[in-house]
Amino acid sequence: MNKLLTMLLEQLSQQPRSFDTADNPGFWSDGEMILCPSEAECEFTANFLRDLFRDSSLTVTTGYFDPFEDHNNGEGDDYTGFYYIGFE
């Protein structure tokens, strides 16, 4: 993983301020991806990171941990309801 990205992920909180996405949980990281409270913030940040790493082999991806899908699959966890930025 890119050294700059590693440092960025290490500086983010390891958990949200709140697990309620309506309660301003802020950005946080599990050390591998960035978790975001809203789609707009996720896409804005992902686009910035794509620009930042455009000359590297790093691919920036986004997604959503859907609460309904997680509930139906019995997969609810701390990520449920958050948008994410992943790196490959």
pLDDT digits (tens, 9 = 90+) for 59-79: 999 999 998 898 888 887 889
Question: CB of 81 within 8 A of CB of 65?
Answer: yes
Q: What's the distance, CA 27 to chain centroid? A: 7
- Strands of the sheet containing 34-36, edge to edge, are 28-29, 34-36, 83-87, 60-64
Question: What whole-number distance in Å separates Cα of residue 32 and Cα of residue 66?
Answer: 19
Q: 61 pairs with which residues across the strands?
A: 86
Q: Domain coordinates of the chain in residue numbers? A: 3-87
What span, in angstroms and rounded, lies between the C-alpha atoms of 11 and 13?
A: 7
Predicted confidence (pLDDT) per residue in 24-59, tens digit:
889 999 999 999 999 999 999 999 999 999 999 999
